[in-house]
Chains A and B, each alone.
Chain A
Amino acid sequence: MITLILSNLSVNIQAIYPEIILSLTLVALVIFDLIFNKQKKFLPLISIIGLFFAFIFVIPEFGTSRSAFPTSENNSLLSIDSFSAFFKGLIIIASVFVVLFSMSSNEIKSCPDRQGEYYSLMFGMIIGMFFLVSANDLILIYLSIELLSLSSYVLAGFVKTSIRNSEASLKYIIYGSTSSGIMLFGISILYGITGSTNLFEINSVLGFSNVPQITFLISILMIFTGIGFKISIVPFHFWTPDIYEGAPLPITAFLSVASKAAGFAVLIRFIEITFAESLSKSGFWQLIPYVNWQNLLVLFSIITMTFGNFAALWQDNLKRLLAYSSIAHAGYLMLGVAVLSDQGLTAVLIYFSIYLFMNLGAFFIVMLIANKINSENIDDYRGLGYSIPFLSTSLAIFLVSLTGLPPTAGFIGKLYIFFALVDAKMIVVAIIALLNTVVALYYYIRVLKVMFLERTDKHVEIEISPLNFVIILALLAPTLIFGVYFTPLVNIAKNSIQLLGF
């Protein structure tokens, strides 16, 4: 059982300043909403201020490597290292954008009296993710996943009057509980075998004594299912299209980026810490051969990207199309993990940073257009390239980047993944992934074709507020700049693969 050693509490508290700030912001949001319930427009402002201060406290975590909240002499609940700092940074950036998105979302605005609830639940998600990316202990991992999930269940069904929202929320709860049930079951089996829930302790047990192999594998796969649900890999992805389509757009965007980032962070930490034997000089991880992780991950990632891309081909709803595309992207990302090397991990971090901007960008523009024309159907995008050139061109850039064509950043992300694969001599896998991008090209470019090559008499006019204009530029700039000048990003990623314990 976990017993916290609270001898050095103040030092341990310092380690979770960002999380404390986020919790305080959550409380502030609730209180502010109760006292000044007419002043809804200050809520996003408070959220952004909270995120800003959390970010300031995340920065010094970068480059450090320490543990917090020890449960025994050598082990602890949390790892504060560059790796977790990197993901916390990504999550904050994504959260800021999502708060900004929410300010101009018609769906969110349609429930004016529940704004406080909305932002405080969002902070619940963020806190869950923050603990998830640092967690060293299966119990903490499970708790943070639950915190993240419970908040997102409510947010997915935020617009109660919309049938679509409610259906999404209900389905989400059903799958979410099923998968977390499976995960909890797996954790309990693992605890039964190894006698611990701490990843480091499990690692040392695996290194020194024999464990019943089949039972062990079952428990690992059950935990993998729980994480796989979060990052929506096939066949644990079924909730994704329905919930992405049904949920309010800012929440869909948030789920597709931030929650996925947290899921990947915990997957990587779980694999690397639980199974690490030693780190070889060439940067390839030496794992304890209880589980052939490479085979498992390659299989799942190929199925995931192929399924995602093929299912996206004939989608007429742009939100649903982006949902399948995000499944496919999870496949590419997992290929980077499957290399099981420092280079592969660097590629994953690069890919994620780029994916954040281009995916949020695509969702934001779809939202702005949906605000006006009340549709996410591709047929309704006919001729938009002529009536709203700025939005259409921006969407085109984001989609081209999602495809992975130069000179956009998406190309660089894929390039580094492929480099890692080729360096690990996984040529066949690289070719399959490459063919997959060809399939992806079709459905992304189809949107461009409809927007720019097909004409219509209908004229749509969308006024872009200065704030939204700035948001689009802030998303466009990295998508384009990282496509040409990516050295700083690569350097940050290279410095962020350091996990506590290595």
Chain B
Amino acid sequence: MRELMYLTVILPLFGFLFNGIFGSKIKNEKIIGIIGSSTVGISFLIALGAFFETLGLPVDQRQKIVTLFSWLHIGNLDVSFAYQIDQLSLVMALIVTGVGFVIHVYSIGYMHGDKAFWRFFSYMNLFIFAMMNLVLADNFVLLFLGWEGVGLCSYLLIGFWYDRKFEKSTVADASKKAFIVNRIGDFGFLLGMFLIFMTFGSLNFNQVFSRAVSFNVPEYVFGFIALFLFIGATGKSAQIPLYIWLPDAMAGPTPVSALIHAATMVTAGVYMVARTSIIYASAPSILMVVAIIGTLTAFFAATIGIVQNDIKKVLAYSTVSQLGYMFMAMGVGAFSAGIFHVMTHAFFKALLFLGAGSVIHSMHDDQNIQNYGGLKKYMPATYLTFLAASLAISGIPPFAGFFSKDEILWYSFANGSIIYWIVGAFTAFLTAFYIFRLYILTFEGKERFGHDKHPHESPAVMTVPLIILAVLSVIGGFIGIPSVFSGEHGNQFHNWLAPLFKDADRKLAIYNFHTHFQEILLMSLSVILGLGGIILAAYIYLKKPQIAANTARKFKGIYNLLWNKYFVDEAYDTVVVNPIVTGSRSFLWKIADNKIIDGAVNGAAKLVDILSINIRKLQTGVAQFYALVMMLGLVAALFWIILSL
């Protein structure tokens, strides 16, 4: 199956082309949906087969390169469509195709009746195609192709309902914001890529990473490469300071939010840092920047999530916060823990989004949780699965989120410092609080929606995906049981990925001097904090709803700050966007463009024009004249060649 991995890229491309070209004529939602989902489903089966085949191989034979064709070969630059199948890319491929397939199936129900049903599925397939290129690429150029491709699909899908209103502006504006903010990050990524090529003379992963070990490269060069790549990651993975696009990305259909803006695309930055772990390990100062940015993002996004009322917005900030955790793991050198969290997060966050989609569906597109309440008796499947996901994200054992989040927190203490742990654990408390606030306001308590609404459970095509993801959210963590419990076998997931990070680990030279006692103590503390968050949320929103209102009134300043998301959007508008807009309008447009550039261009054009008219006059049609010029040319050439001897 490993040789067939290229099919996991080709099949979604086929789906995109088929639905994109014929979709508008087929009109049959079933055919479009089945083709769109099955391409991803078959890809998943192939990836699964490749995974088990790899599992059976000895560790040193697990990496395999499947080259489709060499695209460009000039000098040192060799760009091939070559896919690298190894432990890391297989994990990512399984997440992308597995969760992707489930979400595709769900979309058949969710997008039912949409006027551009076919367009939705062709974009979704295109996204899977780009994402598979991103995770399977064996060189930076192909990774960048996927990186830009997912950005494009994200733009197209956020703006899918381009004619609708979104908050204060339009859906189209939200998609533009996502695209533009991502471009800033992509620029950083490109610079990083150039620097890699300059330093190592190659863009192929294996070559670059082995040269990163063997070449004698000063640390500051590694630092710049790592920093530029990380700027790319902050754009794609919505970290401070470029996270602002992700909440607005919720303007897209909910399955898009689940697939692209929770489970897969936004984790591309994490994947990229893990892939280039040796570069980051060679630049410890930048690694610390990664850890700090991740921790801060986790914390600030969680605080914003506490007060938001839009169900998808809460989940969006929750995603930003969880991505922060992943970068925190990367920053302290716990690469496999970060990837583990990518996986469990894909399960439970996709589930939360799909559950939210199910609720929104039955509440006729109302997304305000203050207008929900008591929905559990109307939609039992959604309710139960949502509860499982909420427990998972809160880090309650034995749900999936517990294992991954706890591993990150443990390494943040063991490899990093106690400060990371304190902020991380407090964020875990906040997480439990905001997610159960959301859960209780939606499913528990009194019904607050109007009589015009008749909540109902979603059809099976939507609930079955929920159940699958719920099962994964419950048991998905067991493959990463920490060694403190599993004993001699150690952490299975960690062992699987460890060979990829051994160079980085050696460079970082992390030795664990901490005891099992410490580990269990910290673990218990974080579970207690999580439970505390849940109980507090239950107490406030079930028993004493007035507390919430009173606190909001009492701490009006803080509440406003959080409600307005720290005014970051406004700050960007004042500091960056408006100066650029006014500057462009008054200087770049009216003076630089109109006067200087246009003047130069028009002047050059005029010059060309005059030259051209004169040259044209040479073609007189008189034969003798031509022969004369020919001879003169010969003589002039003779002089030139004698002079240049």
Contacts and interface: CB of A to CB of B under 8 A. Distances in A.
Real binding pair: yes
A222 B634 contact: yes
A214 B608 CA distance: 37
A236 interface: yes
B627 to A, nearest CB: 6
Interface in B595-645: 608-609, 611-613, 615-616, 618-619, 621, 623, 626-627, 629-630, 632-634, 637-638, 640-642, 644-645
A259 interface: no
A217 B642 contact: yes
A221 B644 contact: no
Interface string A279-308: 000000000010110011001100000010
A214 B642 contact: yes
A238 B626 contact: yes
A314 B642 CA distance: 36
B453 interface: no
B58 interface: no
A182 interface: yes
A314 B71 contact: no
Chain B, interface size category, equals: 20 to 34
B489 interface: no
B214 interface: no
Contacts of A295: 640-641, 644
A467 interface: no
Given A225-B630, A313-B608, A419-B74, A296 B640 contact: yes
A224 B73 CA distance: 34
Given A178-B630, A238-B629, A490-B73, A314 B644 contact: no
B218 interface: no
A225 B638 CA distance: 11
B70 A487 contact: yes
Contacts of A310: 608, 611-612, 615
B641 A238 contact: no
B513 to A, nearest CB: 53
A284 B627 CA distance: 36
Interface in B565-605: none
Interface of B: 69-75, 608-609, 611-613, 615-616, 618-619, 621, 623, 626-627, 629-630, 632-634, 637-638, 640-642, 644-645
B619 A221 contact: no
Contacts of A13: none
B629 A235 contact: yes
A221 B637 contact: yes
Interface in A209-267: 213-214, 217-218, 221-222, 224-225, 234-236, 238-239, 241-242
A222 B70 CA distance: 45
A160 B608 CA distance: 38
26 contacts: A171-B623, A174-B627, A175-B626, A175-B627, A175-B630, A213-B645, A218-B638, A221-B638, A225-B634, A234-B633, A235-B630, A235-B632, A238-B626, A238-B629, A242-B621, A289-B645, A292-B644, A295-B641, A300-B637, A311-B618, A313-B609, A314-B613, A416-B74, A486-B72, A487-B69, A487-B73
A485 B637 contact: no
B634 A221 contact: yes
A165 interface: no
A175 B630 CA distance: 9
A59 interface: no
Contacts of A379: none
Contacts of A21: none
Contacts of A423: 75
A326 interface: no
A243 B619 CA distance: 12
Dominant secondary structure of chain B at its interface with chain A? helix
Contact of B69 (A218, A242, A485): A485
A416 B75 CA distance: 11
The 8 closest A-B pairs by CB, nearest first: A235-B633, A238-B626, A295-B644, A313-B612, A310-B612, A292-B644, A311-B615, A310-B615
Given A242-B621, A295-B641, A310-B611, 17 more contacts: A178-B627, A218-B638, A224-B637, A235-B632, A235-B633, A292-B644, A292-B645, A295-B640, A295-B644, A311-B615, A313-B608, A314-B609, A416-B74, A419-B75, A423-B75, A487-B71, A487-B72
Given A235-B629, A487-B69, A307 B644 contact: no
Contacts of B616: 311, 314
- In the complex, which of the residues B71, B75, B633 has the most CB atoms of chain A within 10 Å of its own CB atom? B633
Nearest to A214: B642
Given A311-B619, A423-B75, A487-B69, A296 B637 contact: yes
A439 interface: yes
A77 to B, nearest CB: 28
B642 A236 contact: no
A292 B641 contact: yes
A171 B621 CA distance: 9
A179 interface: yes
B633 A236 contact: yes
B169 to A, nearest CB: 31
B612 A311 contact: yes
A299 B640 CA distance: 9
Contact of B612 (A221, A224, A314): A314
Contact of B630 (A236, A311, A416): A236
Contacts of A289: 645
Contacts of B73: 487, 490
B335 to A, nearest CB: 35
Nearest to A238: B626
B73 to A, nearest CB: 7
Contacts of B642: 214, 217
B405 to A, nearest CB: 44
A115 to B, nearest CB: 31
Given A241-B619, A439-B608, A217 B627 contact: no
Contacts of A178: 627, 630
Contact of B641 (A222, A296, A486): A296
B641 A217 contact: yes
A381 to B, nearest CB: 20
Contacts of A490: 73
Contacts of A300: 637
Interface in A477-500: 485-487, 490
A202 to B, nearest CB: 18
Contacts of A313: 608-609, 612
Interface string A407-438: 00000000010010001000000000000000
